[in-house]
Structure 1
């Protein structure tokens, strides 16, 4: 449990700094939203671009693992969207963002540090494969559904066209497309542009966590209970369970890679989750869900590590 605490403690400290800064009026709500816009428009696209161009796709592609991870994550996304949209009566944009929170992990800042401590270099391969699924499938799908939900009264073709234009202007989608193209063509960025990308990418995590803390100040939890329960339960419990079922249905994944996948799937949602929700006015709801899931992940991941060690799948 100390392993998990050592990884999550800096996250809570940065969130706390943001909350205290907003509480004592060092920053106001508009400044918090401005920092969020910086993350979504510059830092996060740079993070995705760096992740895609740093390695060749054919160096890490493991098709059985990719298929299992994509099947589990997409199945959970679909189920989460359906429950939120038609069972709980949420709007389309809110349902899409909620479903994304259930199915996209904080791979870089929680999943990877835990996995690399217990599995070594296998963790890097699992993170690269998971980020392919998240950045090329889940995040674009969630943003497309959320954007479509903002188009009121449009016909089918007009809706499709407007959503496509919005996505084409989205810096995150542009970064995914550019990174994938550069990776496929095996083109490396020159030193100076790569350094700029690297600096922006390094800013994404601390600024995003600071923004989360600032967004939590003044938050009213009334009416959010259902969202918090669905998102946290889906991300911390159902996502790793769905992946375990997918591994059983799609054999061919080596045991150590399976363990790494389960650790990544059991991590809370990505730290920029509230930033993605900001575009649709959902940043406070997303921030509350992220904090709740991160707190609970301390217990759920510790339990998973103990179970895996009991089964003899981890070093003693």
Structure 2
């Protein structure tokens, strides 16, 4: 178990340092937004470009990984919508917020550092790129469109179109496309450019975890209750179980490291922009509490999953 804590310990210590530095005034909460912009707009795009441009297209595109991750996400979304919209008769926006909480992990800020420490930079980089494709091109646009069915069913198409237009300007999507094109044509950037991109890419790991911790400092706790518990269990327990079932019976991933990567991804806490996306419909209280709860609880659940995978021989 000590070897497992040597993986999760540094990750959550970095989160805790970010929390403490913000809580005790060394950094302001507004600083976390600036650091987050740096990670999202520069560091992670540089990391994604490096992960793709340095490999052949055959080493990057793994249809089984994409299929398994997309299917598990859609199944989690379906269960969340069924439980809330169909059975509990809650609003479209609340149901979408709940489904987003149990289906959209923090692939960049938490997932990449975990995969980096457990599986190495090669698998972590490719896994991050594949995760971002599914999340940004399928899961998030679908959930946002469903949320905006509230009151005007005609809005869904417009919201989906607006979301897709936004993707064109998204630095991570631009980096994904650029990296894929570089891989396709076999282009390697000159040494000065390559080293500059590497410098920015290397900043993503520690800073992203620091930002998560700082963002949680002072987070409102109202709404803590059954809904937050349900989202937490859905994200940290149900989503990985769905993925395990998908990998076992529906879409097997032959590569053992990629199989481990996609399962670990689903065990991550909720994505960092969850509260921002929920704010538009007035669900920021529950979403902020759920984000904090899943981030804190994932230290235990993720450590347990890593220990179990090691017993199964999935991890060295």
Query: Is the structural similarity TM-score above 0.5?
Result: yes
- 1:223 Cα deviation after fit: 0.5
Partner SS state of residue 274, structure 1: coil
- The structure-2 alpha-carbon separation of the partners of 1:186 and 1:214, relative to structure 1 and needing over 3 Å to count, comes to same
- Identify if the C-alpha distance between structure 1 residues 245 and 197 changes in structure 2 by more than 3 Å, giving closer, same or farther: same
Name 2:117's counterpart in structure 1. 113
Q: What is the distance in 2 between the residues matched to 1:259 and 1:285? A: 32
Q: Once the 2 structures are TM-superposed, how far is the Cα of residue 211 of structure 1 from its aligned partner?
A: 2.0
Contact 1:8–1:110 (Cα < 8 Å) also in 2: yes
Instruction: Return the match for 1:101 from 85, 92, 104.
Output: 104
Tell me if 1:219 matches 2:223: no
User: Is this contact kept in 2: 1:235–1:265, CA < 8 A?
Assistant: no
Deviation at 1:58, TM superposition (A): 0.6
Please report the RMSD computed on the Cα atoms of aligned residues, expressed in angstroms: 3.9
Taking the aligned partners of 1:234 and 1:103, their CA distance within structure 2 comes to 14
Partner residue of 2:74?
Answer: 74
Number of residue pairs matched by the alignment? 306
Q: How does 1:17-166 map to 2 (within 5 A)?
A: 17-59=17-59, 61-80=61-80, 83=83, 87=88, 89=91, 91=93, 94-95=97-98, 97-102=100-105, 104=107, 106-114=110-118, 116=119, 124-125=122-123, 127=124, 130-145=127-142, 148=145, 155=155, 158-166=158-166
CA–CA distance in structure 1, aligned partners of residues 183 and 274 of structure 2: 25
Distance in 1, matches of 2:302 and 2:6, equals 13
Structure 1 gap segments, 5+ residues each: none
Structure 2 residue runs of 5 or longer lacking an equivalent are none
Change beyond 3 A, Cα 1:197–1:85: farther
State the Cα deviation string for residues 269-305 of structure 1 (Å, max 9, x = none). 37xx325754665898767545543543444345445
User: Is the CA contact (8 Å cut-off) linking 2:74 and 2:139 kept in structure 1?
Assistant: no
More deviation in 129-138 or 154-163? 154-163
Q: Does structure 2 conserve the Cα–Cα contact (< 8 Å) formed by 1:66 and 1:129? A: no
- Contact 1:39–1:275 (CA under 8 A) maintained in structure 2: no
Instruction: Report Cα offsets for 1:246-287 as digits up to 9, x if no partner.
Output: 2333376448458625752453237xx325754665898767
Q: Which of 272, 275, 282 is the equivalent residue of 1:274?
A: 272
Residue pair 1:14, 1:210 contacting (<8 A) in 2 also: yes
Q: Distance in 2 between matches of 1:298 and 1:82?
A: 29
Q: Is the 8 A contact 1:268 1:297 kept in 2?
A: yes
